[in-house]
Amino acid sequence: MVKKRTIGLYPYISENSGFGHLKRLLKFLNDDRFIVYFLQENTSWLKSALKMMDLSHIEVFSISEIILKKIELDFIILDNKQTDTFLYDQLSRIAPIISLDEGSLSREKSCYTIDILPNLLSVKPNYFNPGLLDLEIIDKNFKKRKNINKVLITFGGQDPYNLTEKAVDLLKKRYELTTVIGPLFKKNDFGVTKIVNPEKLSDIIPEFDIVITSFGITAYEAVALSTPVALLNPTKYHTQLSKKAGFYILNEKWSINYSKAVKKSNTINIGNKETLTDFIYSLNLVDNKCPICNKRNNKSIERFKLKTYYKCSNCKMTYMTYHGKKTEYTHNYFFDDYKIQYGKTYLDDFENIKKLGIQRIEHISRRLEKNSTIVDIGCAYGPFLEALKESGFKPFGIDVSSDAIDYVNNELKIDSMVSSFPLDRPLTLNNGISGITMWYVIEHFENIDLVLSQINNLLPLGGTFSFSTPNLAGISGKKSLRKFLQMSPNDHYTLWEPKTAKKVLKQYGFKVYKINITGHHPERFGGWAKGKVLTKIVNCYSKIFSFGDTFEIFCIKDNNL
């Protein structure tokens, strides 16, 4: 059975605007996978527009009404052209936001951004694809005629800049013109052939030699239908967008260079055909609040198709929200997937991981007596547990993988249990818990606040907490932040730096007594590390300035929460 998603639709609409943004969102009404609510700050304009489109039966809610009625939305699709900060903050309190072609800096805060049309902003979207217009695409085979006979002029449902009249006045002496008259036109006759409020523009466009319009959906629709386009834009901004996209723009003499229009139209990127409703349904959307301090609406630092990275303006934690299918820690994760990344399975790597564990135990031993109980969260197949046992400690393992825990219990003969973390039930061990460890595990948790709070509650004063994690401040992150984040696994929800880690741990009652920068890779410095001598110099430089790509941190609990 298909899971339904309850969504809010917020289209751009004003007293002097057309219906383009609204029409784009109406597709969600006809999709059984969605339960739809229309939202608007000023409901009167949207109600009026729906009435003109014979859709007055659709109910429209104000933001306050949605809140008062306690209607829970999975997410909001914001197709609002340019959203001011105040409105965005209001909507973000209701549900996660997907922004379509957002032209303001509110796109920096959005949970997910989709650009269907190009824009001039420097903030990249999660996904850009003109094919999401759901165009009727014909293989590009543009008409090649020396003379233009039939010209279609169309400027949307309202034409607020009166471009139809301007185009007719400039071109009527040269060409055979037909105008499209929208439902909100102030004037409905321009002295040439007219088509009034056509039901489907795509059925009409191929009949013409060229389409005169402004930058927007119609221009892309014509190109997809292999009909050349010439743009007459209302503003300098529209002209800049047209140039960026590569469209042919009418010159000052107002004559059409047909061969140039054909050539430029043939180069327009119309993307890969996708249905907007299908694509959005496939997304996994979560609130983008900080997993440490819960601050909302932080600005994104990088966006990719399936993940978005933010830096919290309050606690400075860098974190990620993932928009695809979540990782499952099954047998394949430790074998097939592990082998793809490291060239061998987890069990093949057992002894190497165990050796690293012995080195870590040296730092823990300075604070805990032998025979103390140490719980390893995310213990996998137990190499660190075995190192603890051989070093005189009492190990206990926790992992979500039942295969891994079976191995630890039956093969290593070490007590362990299958569980996620934070624990949903009390953990009672005979000698109590003196230490907790997480080796390359902490970054896998989506809510660090709950994790660190429970670790504090499980440990006595003087107990130790130790973990390792990738280092955002290492050479790879310094060299290219975007590449580092792009390569970061899809289940790494937080990205730590030693400096940030110390501040965060202090908030949860821990005092750091040792930070060990690891993962030094001279080859990642590029051309600097050529030859054995330079490699040694670069490696030394990396250690002095803490440019290792991973780090270990050891701390002691000195306060209860």
Contacts of 111 (CB under 8 A, 6+ apart): 75, 96, 97, 98, 285, 286, 287, 288, 308, 321
Please state, in angstroms and rounded to a whole number, the distance separating the CA atoms of residues 321 and 444: 12
Q: What is the pLDDT of residues 443-456, one digit of tens each?
A: 999 999 999 999 99
Q: Tokens representing 332?
A: 């394949």
Mapped onto helix, strand or coil, the DSSP state of residue 464 is strand
pLDDT at 140 over 70: no
CATH number at residue 261: 3.40.50.2000
Is the pLDDT confidence value at 460 over 70?
yes
d(CA 467, CA 250): 63
Torsion, Cα 168 169 172 176, to 10 degrees, reads 0
| Domain that includes residue 510, residue range | 331-557
Query: 501, 484, 508, 491: which is closest to 441 by C-alpha?
Result: 491
Separation CA 534–CA 468 (nearest Å): 28
Q: Is the domain of 394 the same as that of 538? A: yes
| Ramachandran class of 95: left when φ > 0, alpha when ψ lies in -120 to 50, beta otherwise | beta
Q: Band of the pLDDT at 542, cuts 50, 70, 90? A: low
Residue 32 CB neighbour total at 10 angstroms? 7
152 Cβ contact list (under 8 Å, min separation 6):
178, 180, 204, 205, 207, 208, 210, 211, 212
**Tokens coding 54:** 């014979």
Residue 297 in domain: no
Is 282 a domain residue?
no
Are 366 and 508 members of one domain? yes
pLDDT in tens, 142-191: 655 567 889 999 998 888 889 999 999 988 888 899 999 988 788 989 99
The pLDDT, as a whole number, for residue 147 is 72
Which residues is 518 bridged to in the sheet? Answer: 550
Task: Kindly state whether residues 533 and 401 are assigned to the same domain.
Answer: yes
Please check whether residues 240 and 180 belong to one and the same domain: yes
**Residue pair 396/373 in contact by the 8 Å Cβ criterion:** yes
Which is more confident, 377 or 266? 377
Is residue 438 assigned to a domain? Answer: yes
Q: Residue 16: pLDDT above 70?
A: no
Residue 329 banded pLDDT, cuts 50, 70, 90: confident
Query: Residues 291-323: pLDDT tens digits?
Result: 999 998 899 999 999 999 999 999 999 999 999
Q: 361 and 497 in one domain?
A: yes
- Across the range 31-50, mean pLDDT stands at 91
293 belongs to a structural domain: no
pLDDT tens-digit readout, 396-413: 999 999 999 999 999 999
| Orientation angle between helical segments 498-507 and 448-458, nearest 10 degrees | 60
Tell me which amino acid residue 247 is.
Answer: F
Q: What is the mean pLDDT of residues 419-440?
A: 92
Of 98, 133, 168, the last residue of a domain is 133
pLDDT the model gives residue 13? 87
Nearest to 124 by CA among 517, 486, 504: 486
Both 482 and 534 in one domain: the answer is yes
Residue 200 has pLDDT above 90, yes or no: no
Burial (CB < 10 A; 0-12, 13-18, 19+), residue 143, is middle
> Which of 265, 280, 312 is the C-terminal boundary of a domain?
265
From 534, 526, 501, 494, select the one nearest 515 (Cα to Cα). Answer: 501
Coil, strand or helix at 38:
strand
What is the H or E stretch that residue 109 is in?
none
C-alpha distances (whole Å) from 26 to each of 16, 58, 118, 331, 370 are: 20, 11, 22, 44, 67
For range 3-12, the mean pLDDT: 95
Instruction: Please check whether residues 357 and 392 belong to one and the same domain.
Output: yes
| Residue 528 in this model has a pLDDT that exceeds 60 | no
**Residue at which a domain ends, from 235, 265, 295:** 265
Q: What is the mean pLDDT of residues 543-554?
A: 87
Overall average pLDDT of the 12-29 stretch? 84
Tokens of residue 405, six digits: 């825990």
pLDDT for position 359:
94
Residue 320 inside a domain? The answer is no
pLDDT score for 14: 80
CATH of the domain at 482: 3.40.50.150
Question: Does 349 map to a domain?
Answer: yes
Cα separation, 529 vs 533, whole angstroms = 8
385 and 243 belong to one structural domain = no
Residue 15 falls within a domain, yes or no? yes
| Cα 525 from Cα 518, distance rounded (Å) | 15
Q: How far apart are CA 268 and CA 225, in angstroms?
A: 12
Kindly state whether residue 139 falls inside one of the protein's structural domains.
no
Q: Are residues 226 and 349 in the same domain?
A: no
Do residues 225 and 81 share a domain? Answer: no
Count the domains in the chain: 3
Same domain, 89 and 178: no
Which of the residue ranges 30-34, 293-297, 326-330 would you say has the lowest mean pLDDT? Answer: 326-330
Do residues 107 and 161 share a domain?
Answer: no
On the question of pLDDT at 522 being above 70, the answer is no
